[in-house]
């Protein structure tokens, strides 16, 4: 590990990673295309203006720093040019990818089979091509991340606003604080070129989640009017083994317990203090 960490594309996850990263790195920086607007929670000397589409901003990335790449690795031509310009082969680089990289399950089996890091991926997707380039040619560590939830990203609100509906489709989720822990653990312990599925390991159907939400809070969701695919059941065994090396494990493995806590916190925030 270097003495510095740079978070490329600082967004939702970065806000939860920053406190952890400061415990391990003397210097932590974050980038944005408009840092003075989007990184006001950081001091001026921690903000870096960076835009993959603007090569003139690449020189702002300090040398000899570990990197966490948080945005889609596209287009592949610019990804490769930046990787060479920033000498990524000499750095520890962790990329946040997506479990959507895996081919959709076409098996008639239900529930769908478990998917691990050896499962086929969809190389027709530009993002997947960029991630695989960085992993195979530059030794990056790839985290294929499930759906992220946490403060400000509450699945109960997704149901309330109609973003999701009842279906037999399986969904894989990870709490943002556990994702932040996995990012730091990968930077610390993972081997170059390795892949880890980042999920809480407890895939559920939207039917299960919607029923729980209705029973607990009276929020009714419609049944899906379309024949939904079975979804995926993503194995997190390799990730859990990595966390063991870090002397820890997931903190938020039970989605229903977390929804209870998040709703309680939301209610408390909405209630005026005396």
Q: Judge whether 214 lies within some domain.
A: no
Q: Judge whether 226 lies within some domain.
A: no
Q: Judge whether 89 lies within some domain.
A: yes
User: Containing domain of residue 70, as a range?
Assistant: 4-147+175-199+233-251
CA-nearest of 199, 181, 234 to 68 is 181
pTM score above 0.85? yes
> Quick one: pLDDT at residue 273?
42
**Burial of 30 per CB tally in 10 Å (0-12, 13-18, 19+):** buried
Contact 232, 115 (CB under 8 A): yes
Q: Judge whether 24 lies within some domain.
A: yes
Please state the domain count of the chain: 1
> Quick one: pLDDT at residue 1?
61
State the CATH number of the domain containing residue 74.
3.40.50.720
State pLDDT tens for residues 194-246. Answer: 999 999 999 999 999 999 999 999 999 988 877 878 999 999 999 999 999 88
Q: Judge whether 153 lies within some domain.
A: no
State pLDDT tens for residues 6-29. Answer: 999 999 999 999 999 999 999 999
The values of phi and psi at residue 255, to 5°, are -60, -45
Average pLDDT over the chain, rounded to whole?
94
State pLDDT tens for residues 186-196. Answer: 999 999 999 99
Q: Judge whether 180 lies within some domain.
A: yes
Q: Judge whether 218 lies within some domain.
A: no
Contact 155, 171 (CB under 8 A): no
| pLDDT > 70 in the chain, percent | 96
Q: Judge whether 185 lies within some domain.
A: yes
State pLDDT tens for residues 93-137. Answer: 999 999 999 987 666 789 999 999 999 999 999 999 999 999 999
């Amino acid at each position: 590990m270097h003495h510095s960490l740079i978070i490329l594309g600082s967004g939702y996850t970065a806000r939860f990673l920053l406190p952890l990263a400061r415990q391990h790195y003397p210097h932590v920086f974050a980038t944005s295309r408009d840092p003075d607007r989007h990184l006001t929670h950081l001091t001026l000397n921690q903000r870096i203006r960076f835009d993959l589409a603007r090569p003139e901003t690449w020189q702002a990335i300090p040398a000899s720093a570990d990197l966490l790449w948080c945005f889609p690795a596209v287009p592949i031509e610019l990804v490769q040019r930046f990787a060479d310009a920033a000498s990524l082969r000499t750095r520890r680089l962790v990329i946040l990818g997506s479990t959507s990289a895996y081919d959709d399950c076409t098996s008639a089996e239900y529930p769908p089979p478990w998917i691990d890091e050896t499962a086929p991926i969809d190389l027709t997707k530009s993002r997947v091509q960029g991630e695989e380039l960085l992993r195979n040619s530059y030794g990056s560590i790839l985290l294929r991340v499930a759906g992220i939830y946490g403060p400000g990203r509450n699945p109960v609100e997704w149901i309330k606003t109609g973003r999701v509906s009842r279906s037999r489709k399986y969904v894989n989720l990870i709490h943002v604080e556990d994702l932040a822990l996995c990012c730091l653990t990968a930077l610390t312990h993972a081997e170059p070129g390795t892949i880890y599925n980042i999920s809480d390991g407890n895939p559920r159907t939207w039917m299960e989640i919607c029923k729980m939400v209705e029973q607990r809070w009276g929020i009714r969701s419609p049944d899906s009017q379309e024949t939904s695919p079975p979804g995926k059941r993503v194995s997190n065994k390799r990730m859990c083994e990595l966390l063991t090396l870090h002397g820890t494990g997931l903190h938020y493995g039970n989605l229903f317990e977390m929804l209870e806590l998040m709703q309680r916190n939301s209610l408390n925030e909405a209630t005026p203090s005396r």
